[in-house]
Amino acid sequence: MKSVSQLAEAIQRVLTTRAKAIERETGFVQRSTAQLDGPSFAQTTVLCWMDEPEASYSQLQHVAASLGVRVSNQALEQRFGPASATFLQRLLEEAVGEVVSSQAQAPELIGRFNGVYLQDGSLITLPAQLAQGWPGWGGNTPKAGQSSMRVQVRLELAQGKMQGPWLQAGRQAERSGPAVEKPLPKGCLYNVDSGYFTLKEMRHHDQQGHFWLTQAKSHLKVYDRSGRCWDLLDLLEAQGTDRIDLEVQAGVKERVPMRLLAVRLSPQQVQARRQRANTSWESKPKGCRPPGKGRRSAQGQRQRWRKNRRVSPARQRLMEWTVLLTNVPPELLSLDEALVLARCRGPLELLWKLWKAQGKLDIWRSMKPYRVLTEVMAKLLGLLITHWLTVLGCWQAPNRSLVKAKQVVAWLAPGLALALAGEVAMERVLERTLSTMQRGCTINSRRKRPSTFQLVDNPKLNSS
């Protein structure tokens, strides 16, 4: 869909028509006289947490009232349970089937491919009581990591089309499930980090007619044209130059042909990179919000995670280089252009930061496990709708700001509630939201440190 009217129909279809169709299938509604039925519950939770990600039951009650549903806080609280979590998960799966794309014209570098696809995921730690349905990897304490959810999305860079979010248990591997099984179009560029690639998968993408670009791992073994086997770093040092573009075969058994691209960093860049890699840090609080000012509860506090980074000696040495692997031929992609496309993974990484920092995807106010699971599903659905609005509102601007676009959607989310209640026309609310994005959701150009959108337009800025 590429128009306001189509987007209005999609939002109505997901939050009203499909919500009504699956409310009984999931067991969320068992009698026709239920005041808080599927559509009203979905609209209340999704729109409220789009506006205020840490909303209380009272705030949820206010949104329900704006939708014409009068319900007490206690009655609202009782609607959260296994059925509500299943209901919203099914509704999210319905929403994933809606495809929203921009009419933006792709920059020349990106337009060389049949789509540039980015893919990434994140783990959300859940209450330990949900371990049966959402098993995690475990942790340092008996309850830590017992339950977690892996969320993955795939983003087409030129037009902003999002595939997913796909959900799977945290224990399942990143390279498994629907996020990997979803086919890619022939001639596209699959631009992902090294966690999504093995040599076997690289060969598979070659056979499917896909181009790919990823980072090199420090322990990689490569063969040069003469058939000599090298450690990656030894091969780089043997070239005697700071810019490398070689045809190699990677892997001892697989022997996958590819291009090895590398650029040596300046001493200042190496120092900064090593400092970041070896710095221990403490994450922001996650999980349940504290019960109130001045009150402390071991079960009611958010968890802080301290990460002590330990980088291997081989990785320390490789930090002097930026090393990429690709199967794109030199006539289609130069070294500088490959470095720029590697930086283009930044928008998807920013999207995850945005979903967690502003969308508060991994923060909640309750310790009740199914209330938490329901809230995660509702927030994911709201963040997906936010992305739909961003795609139509400002994706056509190369210097778009996803942070500012999220702020606009939060500001105008109450208008969507009034539109769903029939008080105003949905298309008018969407038009105002999109026009607001088009006027101010951009970032400025920079001279000293060019932004990614500047580099995409002129890759030579990356080496200046």
pLDDT for position 293: 41
pLDDT for position 282: 54
217 to each of 173, 180, 250, 318, how far by Cα in Å?
18, 20, 11, 9
pLDDT for position 142: 58
User: Which residues of the chain carry a pLDDT beneath 50?
Assistant: 281, 290-302, 305
pLDDT for position 11: 93
pLDDT digits (tens, 9 = 90+) for 100-110: 888 878 888 88
**Bridge partner residues of 442 (DSSP):** 400
CA distance 252 to 260: 16
Cβ atoms 236, 244 nearer than 8 A? yes
pLDDT for position 331: 94
pLDDT for position 150: 92
pLDDT for position 290: 46
pLDDT for position 297: 41
376 CB contacts (<8 Å, ≥6 apart)? 124, 126, 149, 361, 364
pTM recorded for the entire structure? 0.88
313 CB contacts (<8 Å, ≥6 apart)? none
Candidates 153, 203, 209, 207; CA nearest to 185 is: 209
Candidates 409, 337, 325; CA nearest to 53 is: 409
pLDDT for position 267: 84
Strand ranges (E), 106-255: 116-126, 147-156, 162-169, 189-191, 211-215, 221-223, 229-231, 243-250
Cβ atoms 67, 420 nearer than 8 A? yes
